[in-house]
Amino acid sequence: MADEKKRKTSPGEFVTQVRSETGKVVWPTREETVRTAIFVFILMVILALFFLGVDTVFSTIVAWLLTLA
């Protein structure tokens, strides 16, 4: 039984399997790709601004704490 699971695939059979699996892939349309790219860009800008704000707040707090020492 273990020998059946470890059976080697020939290169020709491998290529056939790859082509078969590639045919099952559902590729996104151009509109979906553009919409997703725009969404990612907007989210990236929002998160960058958020982390800039958090960093500024922490920097200000640390600078204030250092003046106390």
Residue 6 pLDDT exceeds 90:
no
How would DSSP label each residue in 18-64? HHHHHHT--PPPHHHHHHHHHHHHHHHHHHHHHHHHHHHHHHHHHHH
Distance separating the N- and C-terminal Cα atoms of the chain: 72
The model carries a pTM of 0.62
| Residue 1: predicted pLDDT | 55
Q: What is the pLDDT of residue 7?
A: 78
What pLDDT digit, counting tens, does each position of 10-66 carry? 989 999 999 999 999 999 999 999 999 999 999 999 999 999 999 999 999 999 999
Q: So what's the pLDDT on residue 69? A: 77
Which of these, 20, 38, 40, 19, lies nearest to 30 by C-alpha position? 38
Distance CA 13, CA 21 (A): 12
